[in-house]
Copies of this chain bind each other. A is one copy, B any other.
């Protein structure tokens, strides 16, 4: 069972002026990757506050995966990727590529998605978009790789690893 933290990045959400339907959807989809939500917070689109929370959760040792939602577009207040990049030690570019591919055939706006993913210590951090629709599309795109990703991060020598020789 993987332990997951959710950070919803939304000025309106943090002021209680918008219901967090995207965070709710992530909670709903969590069982699909055998994940248990252990932390959840709604933050304003403030780079430092998002980065601080990412750092604390990743360093805490309890959480395997942090999923953020929101703040990944081109709006002047969208800074979730920058907060994430300031915290991660290793980038995982293939995860955002997979998420952008997922919406490629649906809308040319896939090009504007600025999501990033990476690791800090043994914790994987992934940015999801802000809309429930985007969250669903993106999570579905990366779900097949997540259990293995989290096992690798923990240093578990998996069958895949043995077969494919990731050393």
Copies of this chain present: 3
Q: How far is the CA of A27 from the CA of B90 in the complex (A)?
A: 29
B81, B90, B114, B165: the one contacting A133 at CB < 8 Å is: B165
CB within 8 Å of B: which of A58-97?
70-76, 78-79, 81-82, 89-97
Asked whether, in the complex, the Cβ of B114 is within 8 Å of the Cβ of A74, the reply is: no
- By a CB distance below 8 angstroms, the chain B residues around A90 are 74, 78-79, 81-82, 114
Q: How far is the CA of A72 from the CA of B48 in the complex (A)?
A: 30
The count of chain A contact residues (Cβ–Cβ below 8 Å) is: 62
- A92-105 CB mask vs B (1 if < 8 Å, else 0) is 11111110100000
Asked whether, in the complex, the Cβ of A108 is within 8 Å of the Cβ of B145, the reply is: yes
Q: How far is the CA of A96 from the CA of B22 in the complex (A)?
A: 28
Asked whether, in the complex, the Cβ of A145 is within 8 Å of the Cβ of B82, the reply is: no
* Closest chain B CB from A130 CB (angstroms): 4
Scoring A12, A81, A145 by chain B CB atoms within 10 A of each residue's CB, the highest score goes to A145
A interface list, Cβ under 8 A from B? 9-13, 18, 21-22, 45, 70-76, 78-79, 81-82, 89-98, 100, 108-114, 119, 122, 124, 129-134, 142, 144-145, 148-149, 152-153, 155, 160-161, 163-167
